[in-house]
Every structure is written in C-alpha cells, then in structure tokens.
C-alpha cells in the first residue's frame, strides 16, 4: 500500500509538470516563429508526444530543439524575450553545438530549452543528421500546437542511437535504449 501511494504521488507530480510544460512549449514555438525560427523537437519531449500513451510517461528534464545554425541568434533573442536565461555552459560550433536556456515558472517547474544546431558534441557524430534533413521529414505534433514538429520515426531512431553512442555509451538507462 505504501508503494502504491508513493507511485501515485510520483505520477501526480509527473502529470502536473507535463501540463505546465505542454502549456509552455507552444508559447516558445510561437515566439521562435515570430523570429523566423522553425525548430524540430527531438529526443524525449518529441517522443513523449509521438510514441507514448501519455506524455508524462516519458520523463525528461528539458526540451531539445534542433534549429538551423543560421537562426541561432534569433532563437536566443526569442527565448530571452520570454524571460529565459542562458545557462553558464561553454558553447561553440566545435566544442558544444548547443546552448541551454532556463526559466522557472513556479517552484519545482523549471523549463529548460536546449537549442542544438548540430546533433552531438563529438565531431564524428555532429553531422549524422542535419537540420535540413530533419526539417524536410519532420512530423507534426498536434498535441503541442500547430507549430510543433518532431523528428520522423527514422530520424528519431538515428538520433537515439547517436545520442547513446556519442554521450552515454557506458551508462545503462532504459530511457536511452
């Protein structure tokens, strides 16, 4: 009974967080569109809405947005206008081809957007899939609004494989398998 109650609380928290994030992401996509940025949602946030019966069943701590590298400044400006703050991480086209932005809506509900312009940090994997390839075959994610697009099934599988090998080869977590 104690385990059932604990799991019930965990699920209730996951549902509440999913609701907040599902309200926030369409706002982010609208603001980015105002700046001419059309991201493709990749990894966990996309899979939660395309491959799971309910989005809260696929936990994630952030939203990964893959953009055209030429639109990076526009994406950053759009997020900053919404009150997002850039995380203090090293970024650069060769070192870290992504920037991370954070905003806390309410205590315990932090929104994190990782903006990628290459697929992975290691150069051997960075161009495994390009923005143009992802964008051309992106699929709509209606539950996240009219601007939401995710990686196609084939691209999602490629991204999952590259992510596991490039970043987590020694870590065994079912969520990445």
pLDDT digits (tens, 9 = 90+) for 153-177: 999 999 988 877 776 666 777 776 6
Give percent above pLDDT 70 in the chain.
92
Regarding pTM above 0.75, the answer is yes
Q: What is the CA radius of gyration of the chain?
A: 16
- Do residues 158 and 136 make contact, with C-beta atoms less than 8 angstroms apart? no
| Higher pLDDT pick, 165 / 110 | 110
Question: DSSP assignment, residue 82?
Answer: T
For residue 176, the model assigns a pLDDT of 67
- Do residues 159 and 129 make contact, with C-beta atoms less than 8 angstroms apart? yes
The pLDDT of 109-124, averaged and rounded, is: 85
The per-residue pLDDT for range 79-97, each reduced to its tens digit, is: 999 999 999 776 666 667 8
């Amino acid at each position: 009974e104690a385990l059932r109650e604990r799991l019930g609380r965990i699920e209730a928290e996951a549902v509440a967080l999913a609701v907040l994030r599902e309200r926030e992401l369409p706002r982010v996509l609208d603001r980015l569109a105002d700046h001419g940025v059309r991201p493709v949602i990749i990894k966990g946030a996309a899979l939660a809405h395309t491959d799971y019966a309910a989005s809260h069943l696929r936990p994630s701590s952030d939203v990964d947005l893959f953009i055209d590298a030429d639109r990076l400044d526009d994406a950053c400006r759009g997020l900053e206008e919404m009150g997002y703050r850039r995380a203090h991480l090293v970024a650069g086209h060769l070192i870290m081809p992504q920037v991370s932005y954070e905003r806390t809506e309410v205590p315990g509900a932090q929104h994190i957007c990782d903006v990628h312009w290459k697929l992975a940090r290691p150069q051997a994997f960075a161009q495994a899939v390009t923005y143009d390839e992802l964008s051309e075959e992106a699929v709509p994610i209606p539950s996240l609004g009219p601007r939401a697009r995710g990686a196609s099934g084939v691209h999602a599988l490629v991204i999952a494989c590259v992510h596991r090998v490039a970043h987590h080869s020694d870590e065994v977590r079912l969520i990445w398998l």
